[in-house]
């Protein structure tokens, strides 16, 4: 059949464009104002997040294959050596963990916070990073765990060295985490040496956090370790966050200008730990 | 009513739609393919190129709903405000449909130059919308050059794949 279509009528381009544009305008407003979070409109994004999961799987596949191939390709001798080394490390770590367990138990008795400490790590979930944000101005990562692994919004992401960020969106099998270096992220910290409270604000630079609103007389120096203070909830107390790199006292300024470097490998970690959001009143709950 | 619900989703559109969504899927994958942060600025606007390519080659088949869906997926994958690329890609498609007849008289290398204002508009609108919604962003002028550079090989590869029926594309068959 050639010639003009008879049954397929199309509205004029302008009318169609107007309808699409109007829909998108509504979506943009709904999404950026967070109205109706539990309702139909608020569920659009989680539903779409579920829809795009195959893309993450496809992207991850070649990298996973490379890792496997790398493992097979290694020579037996090096594997044996690595195995021995890991055994030794495991022994050392186990002994340390035993001591830690004893200390934790003692501490719990002392503070009558038994429940909290018992459950502290039981709810930890091991996750791996599927991909990092494609926009250099968004420091976000996609994790391979979601609602099915009981991840919730506000869960805290750590690597073996320190705090990495927090979960901001969860779908059934993946979740999206905001890194502490994102310009939109800030977390309450304290100086380990003397307990001074401060706020560590992301700068959009993976290697730098900015410590905000410290009076000029604050005792803080280069090399100080900053840990989470647990104030404000969500982050438990005492996880390592950053090391102070530089302290500047500008004449005439109201506050110190302090730069700190995150201790977690924000751009290099692949395996991470996800903890549920911490509530200072009930700890991790009784589950 | 049918014409409202099925904007051009008649069986005769299916080969075109299959082709479009395959290409769009590949474009989405290329868009989220992990790159070092310093390279990410140079990433061509794959989705724009795919939408543009399909709309100027078959303006009679090109829809707005397809680009809208692709834009929605791109929004979710990029983690930006929902509806941003879903707004821009149909506009790109509509503009391409309008320009298609005009484009036909140019050689591929000239078409790539005509793409410049389109990508520029796309980048500026995206930057402006991000700013309007309070999201961090930057004007990715590097992507402009890369998109145009990629256009040549892309069109050279994909052009022969259109069937002979392309000749009567302006007849609306």
> How confident is the model at residue A243, as a pLDDT?
95
- pLDDT tens, position by position, A14-65: 888 999 999 999 888 888 776 666 667 677 877 888 888 888 888 888 888 8
Residue A56 belongs to domain spanning: 40-73+119-281
Across the interface, do A45 and B76 touch by the CB < 8 Å criterion?
Answer: yes
Is A140 inside any structural domain? yes
Q: Provide the β-strand partners of residue A167.
A: A177
Query: Is the predicted pLDDT of residue A112 greater than 60, yes or no?
Result: no
Instruction: Tell me which residue of A31, A202, A27 sits closest to B134, measured CA to CA.
Output: A31
Report pLDDT for B138.
80
Contact A13 B98 (CB under 8 A): yes
Spatial separation of the C-alpha atoms in residues A105 and A101, rounded to whole Å = 6
Nearest residue on chain B to A182, judged by CA atoms?
B136
The CATH code of the domain that includes A218 is 2.40.10.340
C-alpha B27/C-alpha B129 separation (Å) is 22
Domain tally, chain A: 1
Q: How many angstroms separate the first and last alpha carbons of chain B?
A: 22
Here the ipTM equals 0.81
DSSP state of A279: B
Asked if residue A18 belongs to a domain, the reply is no
- Is the predicted pLDDT of residue A168 greater than 80, yes or no? yes
The string of pLDDT tens digits covering residues B3-30 is 444 555 667 778 888 889 999 999 999 9
When pLDDT is cut at 50, 70 and 90, the band that residue A285 belongs to is: low
On chain B, the residues whose CB falls within 8 A of the CB of A11 are 3-4, 7
**By three-state DSSP, how is residue A156 classified?**
strand
- The reported pLDDT for the residue numbered A287 is 41
User: How close is the nearest chain A Cα to the Cα of B64, in Å?
Assistant: 7
- A231 within some domain: yes
For the residues B68-89, what does the mean pLDDT come to? 91
Q: What's this model's pTM, rounded to 2 decimal places? A: 0.64
Q: Which helix (H) or strand (E) holds A88?
A: helix A76-111
- All residues of chain A having their beta carbon less than 8 Å from the beta carbon of residue B3 are 8-11
Interface probe with A: pick from B1, B14, B32, B86, most Cβ of A within 10 Å: B32
Q: What separation, in Å, do the N-terminal and C-terminal C-alpha atoms of chain A show?
A: 67
pLDDT at site A110: 67
Q: Is A8's pLDDT higher than 60?
A: no
- pLDDT for residue A115 is more than 70: no
pLDDT of A237 > 60? The answer is: yes
Lowest-confidence region among A98-112, A177-191, A259-273, B33-47? A98-112
Note whether B80 contacts A4, CB cutoff 8 Å: no
- Mean pLDDT across B108-128: 89
Give residues with Cβ within 8 angstroms of A70, minimum separation 6.
Answer: none
Name which of A37, A134, A140 to mutate to probe chain B: the one with the most chain B Cβ atoms within 10 A of its Cβ: A134
Q: Give domain status of residue A20, yes or no.
A: no
* Cβ <8 Å between B77 and A55: yes
Contact indicator for B71, B87 with CB cutoff of 8 Å: yes
Q: Has residue A107 been placed in a domain?
A: no
Cα dist from B144 to A149, B111, B150, whole Å? 41, 14, 10
Is 90 exceeded by the pLDDT of residue B164? no
B2: pLDDT strictly greater than 60: no
Please tell me which residue, A103 or A204, carries the higher pLDDT value. A204
% of chain A with per-residue pLDDT over 90:
27
Given this model, what pLDDT does residue B166 score? 52
- Residues A177, A160 contacting (CB under 8 angstroms): no
Strands (E), chain B: none
Distance CA A19, CA A12 (A): 11
Say whether B136 and A183 touch across the interface (CB within 8 A): yes
The verdict on a CB contact (< 8 Å) between B133 and A27 is: no
Contact A44 B64 (CB under 8 A): no
């Amino acid at each position: 059949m050639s010639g003009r279509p008879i049954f397929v009528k199309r509205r004029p381009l302008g009318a169609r464009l107007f309808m699409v544009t109007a829909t998108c305008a509504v979506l943009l407003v709904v999404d950026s104002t967070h109205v109706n979070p539990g309702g139909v409109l608020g569920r659009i994004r989680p539903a779409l997040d579920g829809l795009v999961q195959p893309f993450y799987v496809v992207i991850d596949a070649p990298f996973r294959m490379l890792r496997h191939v790398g493992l097979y390709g290694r020579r037996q001798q090096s594997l044996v050596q690595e195995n021995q080394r890991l055994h030794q490390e495991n022994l050392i770590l186990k002994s340390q963990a035993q001591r830690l367990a004893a200390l934790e138990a003692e501490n719990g008795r002392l503070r009558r916070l038994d429940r909290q400490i018992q459950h502290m790590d039981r709810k930890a979930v091991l996750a791996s990073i599927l991909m990092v944000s494609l926009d250099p101005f968004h420091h976000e990562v996609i994790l391979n765990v979601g609602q099915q692994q009981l991840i919730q919004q506000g869960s805290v992401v750590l690597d073996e060295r320190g705090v990495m960020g927090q979960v901001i969106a969860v779908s059934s099998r993946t979740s999206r985490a905001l890194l502490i270096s994102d310009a939109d992220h800030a977390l309450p910290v304290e100086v380990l040496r003397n307990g001074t409270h401060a706020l560590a604000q992301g700068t959009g630079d993976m290697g730098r956090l900015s410590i905000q609103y410290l009076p000029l007389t604050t005792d803080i120096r280069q090399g100080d370790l900053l840990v989470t203070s647990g104030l404000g909830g969500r982050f438990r107390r005492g996880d390592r966050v950053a090391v102070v790199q530089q302290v500047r006292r500008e004449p005439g300024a109201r506050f110190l200008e302090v730069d700190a470097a995150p201790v977690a490998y924000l751009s290099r970690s692949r395996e991470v730990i996800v903890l549920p959001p911490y509530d200072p009143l009930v700890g991790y709950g009784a589950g | 009513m049918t014409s409202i619900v099925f904007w051009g989703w008649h069986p005769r559109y299916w080969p075109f739609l299959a082709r479009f969504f395959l290409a769009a899927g590949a474009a989405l994958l290329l868009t989220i393919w992990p790159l070092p942060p310093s390279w990410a600025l140079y990433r061509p606007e794959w989705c724009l190129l795919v939408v543009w390519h399909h709309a100027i080659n078959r303006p009679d088949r090109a829809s707005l709903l397809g680009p809208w869906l692709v834009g929605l997926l791109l929004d979710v994958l990029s983690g930006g405000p929902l509806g941003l690329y879903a707004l821009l890609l149909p506009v790109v498609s509509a503009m391409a449909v309008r320009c298609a007849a005009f484009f036909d008289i140019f050689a591929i290398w000239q078409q790539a130059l005509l793409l410049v204002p389109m990508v520029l508009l796309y980048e500026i609108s995206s930057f402006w919308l991000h700013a309007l919604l309070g999201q961090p962003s930057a004007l990715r002028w590097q992507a402009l050059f890369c998109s145009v550079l990629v256009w040549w090989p892309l069109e050279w590869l994909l052009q022969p794949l259109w069937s002979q029926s392309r000749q009567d594309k302006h007849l609306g068959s």
